[in-house]
């Protein structure tokens, strides 16, 4: 592992920031973990993660654990302790809309800040980006995505679709084999994050023991609670200069409870979609009443009727058929 020289200098407990004298006894050398932590910019990334993502306490705790390990690893390297680079390939499992992509981006920034990644960018890929439809097509597609991700993170969403044992002519296994080779050979310059539903990902890893052994960090993303989903809704509204009336607030609490019980629920993603539809109903309501002048509060306020008009209150999944109108005339 090549040390980040600038970061290692900050680790040293030196008043002038200069490199330690070559004759210094390694047993007496001290390191400044706080200085390393502050120099890396990790705290800003974690603060932003707390601000942008509601809840997810176990996820945030695990990210802090990984960050702590990497900071201490740098300190051990400076002191002269033989240190191998920890395996940084990861698995993010959990339902949709729980922030897996956002956390991958923040994780990449942390690794870049600590000098474990050259660029710190994220390349997102799905099966279609990696697997070809005919012989000789998969290898160049997979290698092209890996080349784009070098120096950063390759985030493979719904990774279990790479493995289709029921189809003898499927080329997903070839893509997995190339991933395994590159993950091992380029572990100093690439982090791969596999993501998807937990149950399917468990089967995926069981079917690929070589892959499972290379993924050291498994992070499970839980569903949001009703209270957390409502907080997310309020953050979305505030960011777009909207607000709930008191009646709309109570109606949306009921909406969340009902929507969670229906199929295709996607946590924060479903909440954002619900807010978008409520905004459309509000706009239609204001448009139909254009005979009267509107003030700032009128334009900002989502009323209960903008929420309760949803088909969710009739036990139906709204938005499944995108050709259906949001507003019933």
Beta bridge partners of 244: 302
Phi, psi of 150 (to 5 degrees): -55, 135
pLDDT band for position 20 (cuts 50, 70, 90): very low
The answer to whether 172 and 141 are in contact (CB under 8 A) is: no
Residue 324 has a pLDDT of 64
Q: Is residue 248 domain-shared with residue 116, that is, in the same domain?
A: no
Q: Are residues 200 and 264 in the same domain?
A: no
- In this prediction, residue 320 has a pLDDT band, given cuts at 50, 70 and 90, of low
103: domain CATH number is: 3.40.50.300
pLDDT value for 321: 60
Q: What is the pLDDT of residue 327?
A: 60
Residues 232 and 187 in one domain: no
Query: Distances in Å between the alpha carbon of 86 and those of 147, 193, 217?
Result: 22, 15, 10
Q: Is residue 235 part of a domain?
A: yes
Listed residues 182, 197, 220: the one ending a domain: 220
Same-domain status, 87 and 215: yes
pLDDT given for residue 231 in this prediction:
95
Q: What whole-number distance in Å separates Cα of residue 192 and Cα of residue 104?
A: 10
- For 148, half-sphere exposure in the C-beta direction (CA atoms, 13 angstrom radius) is 14
User: Based on the domain organization, do 175 and 300 belong to the same domain?
Assistant: no
- What is the phi/psi pair of residue 196, to 5°? 160, -175
Report if residue 320 sits inside a domain. Answer: no
Please report the sign of the dihedral spanned by the C-alpha atoms of residue 94, residue 110, residue 142, residue 206: negative
- Residue 328 falls inside a structural domain: no
**Helices then strands, each counted (H, E), the chain:** 15, 7
Beta bridge partners of residue 219, listed in sequence order: 92
Give 48-99 pLDDT, tens digit per residue: 888 778 888 899 888 888 888 888 888 887 777 877 778 899 999 999 999 9
* Residue 188 CB partners (closer than 8 Å, separation 6+): 1, 2, 85
What is the rounded CA–CA span in Å between residue 149 and residue 111? Answer: 14
Same domain membership, residue 113 and residue 186: yes
Q: What is the pTM of this model?
A: 0.80
Q: Would you give the end-to-end CA distance of the chain in angstroms?
A: 65
Q: Is 141 part of any domain? A: yes
DSSP state of 125: E
* Under 8 Å between Cβ of 12 and 32: yes
The structure tokens listed for 16 are 């002038």
Instruction: Confirm whether 208 is domain-assigned.
Output: yes
Q: Which CATH number do you get for residue 303?
A: 1.10.8.60
Half-sphere exposure for 235 (CA within 13 Å, toward CB): 15
Q: Is residue 124 part of a domain?
A: yes
State the pLDDT confidence band at 11, using cuts at 50, 70 and 90: very low
Domains in the chain, number: 2
237 falls within a domain: yes
Residue 259: give the domain boundaries: 226-314
Residue 319, domain member (yes or no): no
Sequence-separated (6 or more) residues with CB below 8 Å from residue 146:
154, 178, 179, 182, 186, 190
| Poorest-pLDDT segment among 16-25, 85-94, 168-177 | 16-25
Pick the last residue of a domain from 220, 239, 263: 220
214 and 231 belong to one structural domain: no
Contact 32, 10 (CB under 8 A): yes
Q: Are residues 187 and 286 in the same domain?
A: no
Of the candidates 313, 305, 271, the one whose C-alpha atom is nearest the C-alpha of residue 285 is: 305
Do 203 and 125 lie in a common domain? yes
Q: What is the pLDDT of residues 280-306, one digit of tens each?
A: 999 999 998 877 889 999 999 999 999
Is 59 within 8 Å of 101 (Cβ atoms)? no
pLDDT tens across 214-240, in order?
Answer: 898 999 999 999 999 999 999 999 999
How far is Cα 320 from Cα 313, in angstroms, rounded to an integer? 15
Render pLDDT for 112-156 as a digit per residue (tens, 0 to 9). Answer: 888 889 998 999 999 999 998 888 889 999 999 999 999 999 999
25/124 same-domain check: yes
Stretch 165-182: mean pLDDT: 84
Same domain, 209 and 65: yes
Last residue of a domain, one of 165, 193, 220: 220
- Answer yes or no: do 189 and 309 share one domain: no
Dist CA 172 CA 204 (whole Å): 12
Beta-carbon contacts of 2 under 8 Å, excluding residues fewer than 6 positions away, are: 188
């Amino acid at each position: 592992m090549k040390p980040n020289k600038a970061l290692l200098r900050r680790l040293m407990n030196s008043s002038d920031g200069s490199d330690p004298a070559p004759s210094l006894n390694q047993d007496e050398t001290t390191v400044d973990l706080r200085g390393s932590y502050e120099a890396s910019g990790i705290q800003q990334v974690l603060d932003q993660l707390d601000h942008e993502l509601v809840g997810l306490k176990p996820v945030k705790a695990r990210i802090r654990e990984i960050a702590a390990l990497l900071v201490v690893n740098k300190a051990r390297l400076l002191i002269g302790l033989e240190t191998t680079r920890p395996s940084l390939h990861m698995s993010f499992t959990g339902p949709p809309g729980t922030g897996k992509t956002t956390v991958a981006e923040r994780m990449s920034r942390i690794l870049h800040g600590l000098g474990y990644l050259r660029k710190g960018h994220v390349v997102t890929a799905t099966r279609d980006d990696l697997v070809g439809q005919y012989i000789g097509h998969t290898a160049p597609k997979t290698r092209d995505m890996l080349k784009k991700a070098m120096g950063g993170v390759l985030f493979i969403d719904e990774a279990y679709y790479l493995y289709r044992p029921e189809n003898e002519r499927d080329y997903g296994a070839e893509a997995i084999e190339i991933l395994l080779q590159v993950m091992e050979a380029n572990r100093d310059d690439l982090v791969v994050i596999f993501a998807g539903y937990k149950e399917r990902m468990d089967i995926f890893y069981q079917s690929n023991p070589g892959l499972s052994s290379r993924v050291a960090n498994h992070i499970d993303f839980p569903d949001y609670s009703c209270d957390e989903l409502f907080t997310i809704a309020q953050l979305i509204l505030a960011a777009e200069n909207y607000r709930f009336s008191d009646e709309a607030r109570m109606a949306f609490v009921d909406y969340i409870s009902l929507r969670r019980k229906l199929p295709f629920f996607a946590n924060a993603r479903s909440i954002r979609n619900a807010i978008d539809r409520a905004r459309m109903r509000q706009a239609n309501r204001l448009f139909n009443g254009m005979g009267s002048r509107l003030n700032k509060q009128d334009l900002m306020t989502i009323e209960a009727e903008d929420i309760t008009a949803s088909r969710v209150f009739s036990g139906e999944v709204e938005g499944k058929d995108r050709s259906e109108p949001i507003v019933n005339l």
